[in-house]
Amino acid sequence: MHNVVMLCAAGTSTHLFAEKIQKEIDAEGYGAHVSAWSVSQAKENHTSAELLLLTPQVGFEQELVQALYPDTKVEVIDFDAFARMDADAVIEQIKQSFSA
């Protein structure tokens, strides 16, 4: 099972979005666990995530997060997909990340 963490500034809306994505992933039967953290949590605590997805609001932190997690894929979620809370688009991004 793949472990994905979405990183954002505070976490409230992203946590709800992560739950929506998880429900769709579960219904689809895709083997992934999606959770949400703030970037500050990722700086203070270690995660074993295989993929870190930054929300557009914290996309500027990509280099810093990649430096903290050099062996982890770090990507930014598309602005439009995040604004629309388009779970299908983010699930497709997740799948593409693991198939690459």
Domain ranges of the chain: 2-99
Which single residue is written with the structure tokens 């930014």? 76
Burial class (CB within 10 angstroms; exposed 0-12, middle 13-18, buried 19+) of 24 = middle
Provide CATH code, domain 2-99: 3.40.50.2300
Cut 0.85: pTM above it: yes
Burial class (CB within 10 angstroms; exposed 0-12, middle 13-18, buried 19+) of 95 = middle
> Between vectors from CA 58 to CA 35 and to CA 7, what angle results, nearest 5°?
10
Per-residue pLDDT of the chain (100 residues; tens, 9 = 90+): 999 999 999 867 899 999 999 999 999 999 999 999 999 998 888 889 999 999 999 999 999 999 999 999 999 999 999 999 999 999 999 999 999 7
